[in-house]
Amino acid sequence: MGHKVTLIPGDGIGPEVTASAVRVIDATGVEIDWEYQMAGRDAEEQFGTPLPDEVLKSIRRNKVALKGPLRTPIGKGYRSANVTLRQELALFANLRPILTIPGVNTRYADVDLIIVRENSEDLYIGKEEEIAPGVVHAIKVVTEDACRRISEWAFQHALAQQRKRITLVHKANIMKKSDGLFLRVFNEVAQNFDEIEADHRIVDALCMDLVLDPTRYDVLLLGNLYGDIVSDLASGLVGGLGLVPGANIGSDIAVFEAVHGTAPDIARRNLANPSAIILTAAMMLEYLGEQAAAEKIRKSIRYLLAVEKSRTRDLGGDLGTDQFTNLLVQEVSARL
């Protein structure tokens, strides 16, 4: 029996790379009934909003979505559709695995991190107001309930992934009430999980540690803003945003999206690396209970990227989006 999944191609390179992901999933033999939905710039032009109600209705109905990147105007314009989507659907956990791919040339070997980011509050929700001309007030909201929910989720996920340690990343030395609350709740939750070592690290010190030796960490738990910044930093440790998958998960709904943005400068030029969204699709398949298909995709990508002639341009090869996808489809099909 197939799965019903909402597909949001997105902006920029989104339609190209999501099309690659659909082809690769088809090659696994898993039956997906895709329900296409428009969001982002085209939706804003056609419907007056980057996130039409029908998109939310579709995801609530299907419970699972695969989403391409959505454009967010910088410093002006409409509010981030990505943030709105997470809040409207109560997708409180953002999950980003950071894993070295053999053959991809980086300074680091054997990086294997899981980044868990609280998705619903903190400064990242964009609550700002101009309280006087030239003076803007940004509001950081941190609640005990959200801290406890994401802490418990992170520990449970660590257990499921057979991880040994979780590090809470914070700035409680300065943000004594907000980040201090997160630290207190994290320590309380940790007492219920004796199997996992729990510690904490100030965010600036963590960034230095990751650059020096990322292998010293296992699972990182962060608030919304720190999590966004650190996950991009960590992506650079394994070859860049073109190789890192991601998911936004709630109690009964999950939206899977790659970490990278819309990259409008290379859109519609057959230059984008689709690996991140394809690895994201593998995460989605695993969530749907299709573990064998997910593993075929991961092994196929790792096999191809180990050979320079089968890489996209951003990784030192000369393949375009379509050519890389063709090779990957062949490799996945051969593993059936």
| CA pair distance 167, 97, nearest whole angstrom | 15
Catalytic residue among 11, 122, 179, 228: 228
Residue 78 appears among annotated catalytic residues: no
Tallying the residues shown for the chain, one arrives at: 336
| CA pair distance 255, 35, nearest whole angstrom | 14
Q: Give all strands (DSSP E) within 240-311, no chain letters.
A: 247-249, 254-257
Catalytic residue among 199, 204, 213, 318: 204
Helix (H) or strand (E) holding 54: helix 53-62
Residue 124 appears among annotated catalytic residues: yes
CA 59 to chain centre: 17
The residues with which 255 forms a beta bridge, in sequence order, are 65, 248
Residue 171 appears among annotated catalytic residues: yes
Tokens of 3: 């799965």
Residue 164 appears among annotated catalytic residues: no
Catalytic residue among 63, 67, 171, 296: 171
Maximum Cα interatomic distance, the chain, rounded to a whole number of Å: 64
Tokens of 265: 């400068």
User: How would you classify residue 263: left for phi > 0, otherwise alpha for psi between -120 and 50, otherwise beta?
Assistant: left
Q: Count other Cβ atoms within 10 Å, centred on residue 239.
A: 23
The letter for the amino acid at 154 is: A
The letter for the amino acid at 186 is: F
Nearest in space to 298 (alpha carbons), one of 288, 309, 310, 286: 286
Catalytic residue among 124, 217, 226, 287: 124
| CA pair distance 235, 250, nearest whole angstrom | 23
Q: Give all strands (DSSP E) within the chain, no chain letters.
A: 3-8, 32-36, 64-67, 93-99, 112-118, 128-132, 135-138, 165-170, 197-202, 219-222, 247-249, 254-257
Tokens of 94: 């953002």
As annotated, the active-site residues are 124, 171, 204, 228
